[in-house]
Amino acid sequence: MACFIVFEGGDGSGKSTQARSLLRRLRRRGVKVLRTHEPGGTPLGQSLRRLLKSGKAMTPMSELMLFEAARAQLVQNVIRPFLQQGGVVIADRFTSSTMAYQGYGRGLDRELIERLNREATGGLEPDLTVFLDLHVETALARKSGGSEDNFDDAPVDFHRRIHRGYSALAAADPGGWLVLDGQRPPEELSRDIWARVQTII
Ligand code: TYD
């Protein structure tokens, strides 16, 4: 029964809405389920989240290490124990975020990121990654106003590179990724996600 489902996408893609919707569906059916959101989810992760969002000057390499540190803590203390008890974990962002944002977006060495991802997670991989694919301009327009996100001010090119990264990751593992058009109505997306999740749990 243990199952690890990850939601990925650019800022404003709607993945958090879909992650919560899946959480509710599973709960209603009495499934033991937990939602995580990176960075965060542990006391150390929360401190690192605040640091990452503080706007403090940070080199891309420092940023990478902080995301990985938060993830190492979350996997070891929260995600693995929950899976070991047979639960379903829904993760709002995981290793592919680092590949897309720090690898494709910031231009850091992707092999290094792959290695760090592996070390931080002890090799844990999702059973399914849901990618909500949305045009960069549409996503940024959705996010404008009221967001606290530290990547919102980044040039649109940065977000385009992230989008290219996600598309490449999804194309490299078609069996493990469910790619959905993020422009579609949320209820439809939620139905498609549910249909796919039912085939694996
Ligand atoms: P958050 O407010 O959690 O946004 P979202 O709801 O889009 O996840 O902010 C997290 C930000 O950190 C988001 O812009 C993506 C970025 N990020 C990375 O750059 N690398 C990573 O490894 C992770 C997990 C997130």
Q: Is the pLDDT of residue 95 over 60?
A: yes
Nearest to 38 by CA among 13, 2, 8, 81: 8
Q: How large a percentage of the chain has pLDDT more than 70?
A: 97
Q: Is the pLDDT of residue 86 over 80?
A: yes
Q: What is the pLDDT of residue 150?
A: 61
Query: DSSP label at 102?
Result: I
Q: What is the pLDDT of residue 144?
A: 74
- Please indicate whether residue 7, judged by its CB atom, sits closer than 6 Å to ligand 1: no
- Please indicate whether residue 101, judged by its CB atom, sits closer than 6 Å to ligand 1: yes
Q: What does pLDDT average to over the chain? A: 95
Q: What is the pLDDT of residue 140?
A: 86
Q: What is the pLDDT of residue 151?
A: 73
Q: Is the pLDDT of residue 145 over 80?
A: no
- Residue 39 Cα to ligand 1 midpoint, Å, equals 7
- Residue 181 Cα to ligand 1 midpoint, Å, equals 20
- Residue 38 Cα to ligand 1 midpoint, Å, equals 7
Confidence of residue 4 (pLDDT cuts 50, 70, 90): very high
Q: Is the pLDDT of residue 104 over 60?
A: yes
In the chain, what are the helix, strand and coil shares in percent, each to the nearest 5?
Answer: 55, 15, 30
Q: What is the pLDDT of residue 146?
A: 53
CATH number of this structure's domain 3-200: 3.40.50.300
